[in-house]
Amino acid sequence: MRDHTWARTAGVVAALIAGVLCIGCSADDPNVSLEIRIVQGTPADHLTKMTMVVWGGQWTYYARDEVLLTEEDVITAIVVTQDNGAPAMRLTLSKEGQEKLLRVTQNNVGSKLGVIINGRLQCASRIDAPVDTGIVMVTGHMLEHGAKRCSRALARGAA
């Protein structure tokens, strides 16, 4: 059962970390600003209000100031094809990035991680269990050209 929980959590975090990167990338952006922060649904002092556009409306979250992971934690970002033919991105985190992700997910089980791309909240997902992998398979609703733009921008940043 624990392996199932880990796989589910890894999938959620993978989708969170990069499944929506394509939304925030444009062909003109030489770089992608990626921030992973803890977010919550209720306001509090010292939290930044962020609105996330979703199908059918928008949701409001409040982000902590501490940036937990950035594009600097990504070593490689490549586009791959899933078994169902849909594009995905495979991110390889640096050793430090892998350790950060593990610490963040260990210390924040039950909280939500927010992915902020170029200053805009793209998604927020619940942490169900610690994630200790340095390879993050990115799935989600993305088009191949968007995935390629983002992976190129992330790769330039990693170089």
Question: Looking at residue 55, which CATH number applies to its domain?
Answer: 3.30.1360.200
Helix or strand or coil: residue 125? strand
What is the CB-side half-sphere exposure of residue 6 using CA atoms within 13 A? 9
Residue positions counted in the chain: 159
- The parent domain of residue 48 ranges over 2-158
- Find out whether 33 and 150 touch, Cβ atoms under 8 Å: no
Q: pLDDT by residue for the chain (159 residues), tens digit each?
A: 555 555 555 555 544 444 444 445 554 556 677 788 999 999 999 999 999 876 678 889 999 999 998 889 988 888 888 788 877 777 788 999 999 989 998 999 999 988 777 788 877 778 888 888 877 665 555 567 766 776 776 666 554
Per the structure, how many domains does the chain have? 1
Q: Give dist(CA 117, CA 122) in Å, integer.
A: 7
